[in-house]
Amino acid sequence: MAQIEDSFMHKGMRRKLVEEIRSKGISDEQVLDAIGAIPRHLFMDNTFVQFAYVDKAFPIAVGQTISQPYTVAFQTQALELKKYDKVLEVGTGSGYQAAVLCRMGASVYTIERQKALYDFARNLLPGLGYRPHFFYGDGYLGLPTYGPFDKIIVTAGASFIPEPLKQQLKIGGIMVIPVGERDLQIMKIITRLSETEYREEDKGGFIFVPLLTGLSD
């Protein structure tokens, strides 16, 4: 398990990272507060601590990545979170994005298809004071028994928008999902307007690891 140590050096590096993300256009103070508060280095292997506060994605276990801090901030800002929002995250990964959502007061349900990552995040987050509900499963299907959700965030690149996720969004709810080919996805912001109508907005290009079907083992 990662050592829970957060030094002045780490805090200083985080403050710089927050200013960098702000200068790239993130203005939601609650998002910036969360990035400034959460020790991202604890979500990465000890060997790579010096990369934890660089605004870049980074490899974690089993060929996956911890998203770039700017991307985490961008997706989170797009969710227009309110305290106590019930949020589904597809792709727990390191658990960093889930920690950001918890820090902002959301009630978080996060799902991961890689057992090793599910275990890692489930062991790390409670010690930091963040308690999302963890699920090991296929996020394409969402969590029908726990929905509907106020917000849905997908942190892997999808080739299409999974129908079950649309169905599990509350009316008035927002889903943020990168959709496209393997080497480029467009960030889609989807608002559910009624039982049958959705509004779709495109918000620029991003690159994520792919959303895959089924479980890892």
Residues near ligand SAH, by CB under 6 A:
64-67, 90-91, 93-94, 96-97, 111-114, 117, 138-140, 155-156, 209, 211-213
DSSP string, 109-163: EEEES-HHHHHHHHHHHHHHT--PEEEES-GGG--TTT--EEEEEE-SBBSS--H
CA 170/CA 90 separation, integer angstroms: 16
> For this structure, is 67 an active site residue?
yes
Q: How far is the CB of 53 from ligand SAH (least distance, A)?
A: 15
- Residue number, 2 or 212, with CB nearest to ligand SAH: 212
The residue to which tokens 């203005």 are assigned = 27
* Single-letter amino acid code for the residue at 98: A
Q: Kindly tell me the sign of the dihedral angle through the C-alpha atoms of 45, 49, 50, 52.
A: positive
The residue with its CB nearest to ligand SAH is 93
Inter-residue contact 92 to 117 (CB < 8 Å):
yes
CA 30/CA 19 separation, integer angstroms: 14
- Residue number, 176 or 190, with CB nearest to ligand SAH: 176
- Residue number, 28 or 138, with CB nearest to ligand SAH: 138
CA 177/CA 62 separation, integer angstroms: 22
- Residue number, 85 or 109, with CB nearest to ligand SAH: 109
Q: How far is the CB of 193 from ligand SAH (least distance, A)?
A: 26
Inter-residue contact 100 to 31 (CB < 8 Å):
yes
Q: How far is the CB of 171 from ligand SAH (least distance, A)?
A: 25
Q: How far is the CB of 103 from ligand SAH (least distance, A)?
A: 13
67, 94, 159, 194: which one is catalytic? Answer: 67
Q: Which residues are catalytic?
A: 67
